Amino acid sequence: MPYDTHSAENDLDEAFTAIGTGGIDVLKGQRTLSASDIDEKFQREVEASEDVELDLTPGVLEKSGDPVRIYLHEMGMTPLLTRQGEVDIAKRIERGQLRTLKALSRSPIVIRQILAMGEDLERGIRSIKEIVVFDEEEITDDEVVQNRIKDITRRIDELRKHSRRASLLAERLQTIPRKEKAREYSRCRYTLGREMARISLIIRHLGLTNFERKRLIDRVNNALDIMRSLDGQVSALRKKIEGTRSEKLKNDYRKTQRQYRADFARLESDVGIKFQELHRMQCDIIRGEMDAEQAKR
């Protein structure tokens, strides 16, 4: 109220006049709502509430900087796994890892790595715990660990025997004329396939750890990268030979190309598998790893 309304000269009427000029309505007593007024007011509130649209779609979250709150909100919207769902995901992971092991078991370079692993295990250079998977209660039991060492070394010895037989059969297969001695060629090829299947089963049932499996994969990838690099250099030199007119440069390019081809052939011999077959093997390994990783996610 204005300051002058508090003076002794102003009476109550002047106070009401000042309040009225301020845009304030003065009511004498309390207004009583009738039944019709109450019904009309309730109807207006109902109509106003119907006009409000609520967004109940999942995922709508007010902006918040609390990561725990966001995580709990998103986790609450994700349906929980059922027992059958867990079994299905475990099977998918197992199928992906099995596909990877199948591809690895067909590589002679992987077989040699596993044989070397067995020798390191017998000499005590490597620990069995970093090679194969143990349960939590087994890893602390010395008797279980010793039995696992004996079992793994026995399996690797069997792998060595089948690998020698497979090598002899592969050498013999190359000396048999396919057309003149078709029956003998088919029999030798069938026996070689059986030996390779036994080798694959032994490798798959070793129970290798993820670290050991990735180490074998890296060995295959490194060999393939070197072979791919040599093949690319040979192709690049071929284009240089075709694009130059200088005989001296052509001779230098051909000499370097022959050296690259010799290195490529020597690497194929060391790996024990052709470049195209190794490339297909890498594709199978990548698919298996991707399937297993996608199932984990």
Regions of the chain with pLDDT less than 70: 1-65, 136-139
**Which residue blocks in the chain are alpha helix, DSSP H?**
12-21, 35-50, 67-77, 83-105, 108-123, 142-175, 182-204, 210-243, 247-271, 275-296
Domains in the chain and their CATH numbers? 88-296 (1.10.601.10)
Q: Which are the contacts of 176, defined by CB distance < 8 A and separation ≥ 6?
A: 184, 185, 188
Task: Tell me the per-residue pLDDT of 248-276, one tens digit each, with 9 for 90 and over.
Answer: 888 998 899 999 999 988 888 888 888 88
pLDDT at 40: 65
pLDDT at 48: 56
pLDDT at 191: 92
Q: What are phi and psi of 285, to 5 degrees?
A: -65, -45
pLDDT at 105: 85
pLDDT at 187: 92
pLDDT at 162: 92
Extract the tokens encoding 56.
């109940």
Compute, in degrees rounded to 10, the torsion defined by CA atoms 60, 63, 67, 72.
Answer: -30
pLDDT at 42: 57
